[in-house]
Amino acid sequence: MPELLTSVELFAGAGGLALGLERAGFQAAALVEFDKNACATLRANFPDTPVIEGDVRGVDWSEIAAPGETDLVAGGPPCQPFSLAGSQRGEADERDMIPEFVRAVQGLRPKAFLMENVRGLLSPRHADYYRRVLERLAEPALGLRYTVTPNLVCAADYGVPQQRWRVLVIGIREDQNPEGFAFPEPTHSFEALLHSQYVTGEYWHRHPVPEDDRLPLNKPHARKLALVKQNGPGALLPWRTFRDATCDLGEIGPVDRSHHTRHALWREPIVNPPWKMHPTRPDLPANTVLASHSGSARFNMVQLPEGRARELTIPERLRAQTFPDTWQIIAAGRQSALKQLGNAVPVQLGQVAGNVIAAHLAAQRPAQGLAA
């Protein structure tokens, strides 16, 4: 049996990245998280993993592992300073925890690191800071160097039923053959989904939606469909849609509270006129699952057949983030649950990143005689 790789994760939240990395073959030596509700969620779902509850700035990394013993340091520093949905104060925001991620890499000296963040980090107003972050990650300490590859990815392109854009910054230590590392190409595409829906019709055979309730083609989609008809869908799989992910939860319509888990009882789903909303269309991947109530109320809605919209249920958000249905979200109330789910890394995306990092590190072991 292959030896498990070790990881340490900062800003672990609800455990989406941790679960993805576990599925990829990493065993977490520690999960660090500040929010007490998220820590309760982590303990409920990872009962055998140490959870460090508190401010990451107070963590002594030498107490976690000796330098060089950890295979992977991972985490998604709080994204509010760079989020396109926020004020984008960047490094001036006291919530900017990227320096703490760098400090963890300095202290643990892992073979690789994975830092997840919002694509707002790439905006022109943060260009100088982003450049300095990459420089610090490339050489976080004297004699410690990494080859750093930033990857802007859409989660839907890797099988997640959600259009969630994220920056994955991956570093491979200089003694781990960094030149041989590459992030995997997408496995799913919008073009293949259009082909399945409007060329072969296979999608509608699986989901017998009345024609009047099907996704209408806007002009950009129609142009893309014309190219698909001309050139074919390619070799990729279709994007997974919200309907694909949730079809066995029941018909998409107003929520019947008696048929949902206790999580649904945390809120009365909001129903609003669609012109004030930007709802998820069931036959596309879901909109980005958001953490804030104000953002969630606008974007984390689903379009109903009669033209209205309602807020996504907790089970639907779990599916959109590719958590298993059995995942326990321990929260003091509805807002805490939304925050945990909205801040999470989709499990499937975490596993994709974990798989390629694990495979790369494992490939270096024979040449090193399985040494650390």
3 state DSSP class of 345: coil
User: In angstroms, rounded to a whole number, what is the distance separating the alpha carbons of residues 107 and 100?
Assistant: 10
Q: Which residue has the tokens 């001036």?
A: 92
**Residues found in the chain:** 372
Residue 39 known to be catalytic:
no
Per the CB < 8 A criterion, the answer to whether 155 and 162 are in contact is yes
* Beta-strand relationship, 165-173 and 146-154: antiparallel
Pick the catalytic residue from 39, 79, 154, 247.
79
Contacts of 23 (CB under 8 A, 6+ apart): 347, 351, 354
User: In angstroms, rounded to a whole number, what is the distance separating the alpha carbons of residues 102 and 77?
Assistant: 10
CA torsion, ordered 213, 217, 218, 223, to nearest 10 deg: 180
Tokens of 257: 């509270």
Bridge partner list, 152: 167
Tokens of 23: 């599925």
Task: Return the H-helix or E-strand segment holding 311.
Answer: strand 309-311
Tokens of 367: 């040449």
Catalytic machinery residues:
79
